[in-house]
Amino acid sequence: MNPLLRTFPEAVRISGVRCPLNTDFRVGLRIMVAYEDPRLTGFEKQLILCKLLYQEQPPNFERAVREGIRFLDCGETPREPRGGRTYSFTQDWAYIYSAILQTHGVDLQTARMHWWKFRMMFLDLREDTTFQHMVSLRRRKEKGLLTKEEKRLWVDSADLLELREPDPERDRAQAEFDRWMRG
């Protein structure tokens, strides 16, 4: 579908039934965060997708998952990922927020926006944003192309640049520490 010629979709058709979608970009982000979470099984991720994306549960679960993923991919056939992850909606949220504000002038705190519009803006962020610089460094590291200076930067900023997997024990300890610090 070409969004220059048609409006963004608000529903999908599953087994002949029109299924309205929750198209707000925040819904899409919640689903993406769930798909990033290695603690969830594939089936749990699919359940979250269907529960959040569909206003009413569709008649065919497998088809609903396929159509949901297709919707999240803006109607495109997903491409095979080349290499590892270079960003995380969970970890990089502050930099994504500021990159969209800097590039497009959109404040995601006050924006009402369709998932497709968000995704298109996300895919077209200026190279001079901190987020894009982080993504570039991650790609270069993965390919073994970091310069000496970039390697030093990586070591100094590893806590920011390394994509971490969720660690329930670390998260619990951090929450306990935070509670303790607040008194």
pLDDT, tens only, 75-108 = 987 776 677 889 999 999 999 999 999 999 999 9
> 112 by DSSP, 3-state: which?
coil
Kindly state whether residue 79 falls inside one of the protein's structural domains.
no
Residue 174 pLDDT: 64
Is 183 among the domain residues?
no
Indicate the pTM of the whole model.
0.85
The DSSP secondary-structure symbol of 18 reads: E
Do the domain assignments include residue 172?
Answer: yes
Query: How many domains does the structure of the chain reveal?
Result: 2
Low-confidence ranges of the chain (pLDDT < 50): none
Domain range holding 102?
93-177
**Which residues lie closer than 8 Å to 65 by C-beta, 6 or more apart?**
46, 49, 50
Is residue 112 in some structural domain? yes
**pLDDT at site 183:** 67
- Residue holding tokens 């800097």? 102
Answer whether residue 137 is part of any domain. Answer: yes
13 beta partners: 18
Q: Could you give the CA distance from residue 20 to residue 2 in angstroms, rounded to a whole number? A: 20
User: Could you tell me if 101 and 57 lie in one domain?
Assistant: no
